[in-house]
Amino acid sequence: MRRIALVALALGLFVPLLASAPANAQATRTWVSGVGDDANPCSRTAPCKTFAGAISKTAAAGEINCLDPGGFGAVTVTKSMTISCEAGTAGVLVSGTNAIIFNAGVNDYLFLKGLDFEGLGTGINGVSFLNGGFLHVEDCVFRRFTGSGISITAGGATGFEITRTTVFSNGNGSTGAGIRIAPAAGGTSKGMIDRVVADRNTFGFAADASGGSILLNVDHSSATNSTLAGVIGTATSGTANVMIMRSTASNNATGIQNAGGTTTIRVGESAIQGNTTGVSGVVSSYTTNQLNGNTTDGTMSTIPLK
């Protein structure tokens, strides 16, 4: 009898632990749905409703997926994370704030795919990269943010890749951009913009090395109808190195602008036409460009092909 009592006691202590373990565990893959509930465990059969609800239930380096179209809200990401949605429109609509903030460790990454960001003309940034290691944005749309569609201001050594993405009508007055890279003091940001459409932003692509340094490659992309410049590079404390290949700058106030400081802009196999000013400042050409059809074309220095 005494042995039976001891076994019963052990089971009584152990079973509650088993029952509580799943509630506290974080899954490597979670799900959101337009008809989900954040009180759910975010499983495929019981999805959450928002990214903010799902992220606390997702392990570091895990993945949040969308079961169906919906508006999934703003979220702050503080660990490595993938948010990938290919099941219809995955909306992130905000007013007066940032849509996604990436504020994580130096080795952490954020991978975003298939999201539709709407700032309603009052949202600040679509993605604000404050701290972290690497940002990847793919197949996304950013519209009507007063700051930038994508803002990269992290310090330290950071990287980014933005591909097959549209940034439309971002910025306000003389500030903001479709994509703005402006690393903090002492930081270095290196990355690629590939097959990106920047239309009707204050600046299309802005490399601002006022604090840190930038190495930016723009390939197979377009910057059009910008209020100020399609592509701009500027540097004071750091250096800005911008390479533009197989791209288009058209119908902007200025197509490509070197705003001074330790900024180098090189261009090859690209079309610069229909702008009020084609190029401004020191812009170097590999002699494979089409610079004409602007109100004022401007001039480009020549770099020999090697």
Give me the DSSP letters along 37-77: -TTS---SSS-BSSHHHHHTTEEEEEEEEESS-EE---EEE
Which ranges of the chain does DSSP label H, i.e. alpha helix? 2-24, 51-55
Query: 161-199, pLDDT tens digit by residue?
Result: 999 999 999 999 889 999 999 999 999 999 999 999 999
* H or E element, residue 247: none
Residue 182 lies in a domain: yes
Which residue carries 């975010």 as its tokens? 42
Residue 22 lies in a domain: no
| Angle made by CA atoms 109, 113, 117, in degrees to the nearest 5 | 105
The mean pLDDT value for 63-69 works out to 97
Give me Rg for the CA atoms of the chain: 23
| Total-model pTM | 0.92
Residue 226 lies in a domain: yes
Query: 103-142, pLDDT tens digit by residue?
Result: 999 999 999 999 999 999 999 999 999 999 999 999 999 9
Residue 106 lies in a domain: no
Range(s) of the domain holding residue 233: 147-158+165-306
Residue 96 lies in a domain: no
Residue 235 lies in a domain: yes
Residue 99 lies in a domain: no
What pLDDT was estimated at residue 105? 98
Which residues, including other chains, have CB under 8 Å from residue 246's CB and lie 6 or more apart? 219, 220, 268, 269, 270
What pLDDT was estimated at residue 228? 99
What pLDDT was estimated at residue 24? 57
- Mean confidence (pLDDT) of the chain: 93
The mean pLDDT value for 276-281 works out to 99
Give me the DSSP letters along 217-229: EEES-EEES-SSE
**In 3-state terms, what secondary structure has residue 279?**
strand
**In 3-state terms, what secondary structure has residue 149?**
strand
Taking the C-alpha atoms of residue 228 and residue 221, their distance in angstroms, rounded to an integer, is 18
What pLDDT was estimated at residue 88? 78
* H or E element, residue 166: strand 157-168
Residue 41 lies in a domain: no
Relative to beta strand 248-250, strand 222-224 is: parallel
Domains: count for the chain: 1
Exposure b/e, 276-290, CB count within 10 A at least 16 = b: ebbbbbebbbbeebe
